[in-house]
Amino acid sequence: MPRPSLSAGAFCRLSRRMWRWRDMLLFDPRGSVNAAVNLITPAIRPDADLGMIVMESDYFVPMSGSNLICTVTVALETGMVAMREPETVVRVDTPAGLVEVVATCSDGKCRAITFRNIPSFVMHRDSLIEVPEIGSLRVDVAYGGMIYCIVNAEDLGLTLARDAARHLVEIGERAKRSAADAVKPNGRSSCCAMPPLWPGP
């Protein structure tokens, strides 16, 4: 299993020092709540090609697949990392650990990107939390680059249909806050947010 490039404590300290930069880049008038900033940094690990730190509007993410794809595309297409056609292997040093990326390239452009993420695992299964205005709710907590609070929509009589989106967001925000207070990874609080994830058809 790859070791994290930053310990949890070091990542929390880094996040606290960079709040002002995050706010300046992501809040009005420059950004929005849906935006993210990906910092390309020198790698800490000697076997990595570059480092990546993801700043989102609410928190700093140890690892994000969509942000990784954007970051590697920029690094290759701007020449920060040498592009080799038809495939370029890029090793990215993230706070969660080393992630290996394979970029399919042609004519100086990234055409497709695949990657092998860090190992994921379940932290808590079938934990009951108390959510305001809802009551007891069964959740799972799992890690896959960041910590997710997994809620089964069917437990609430909901579906993942488009017209349920606003309701799912409202409940998810409440569940996230309750889970962060009640379900502590490794028995202690986490400096990282716990976004909700809704599995379903």
Q: Catalytic residue positions?
A: 64
The amino acid that residue 170 corresponds to is: E
The amino acid that residue 157 corresponds to is: G
Beta-ladder partners of 119: none
Q: Are 141 and 147 in contact (CB under 8 A)?
A: yes
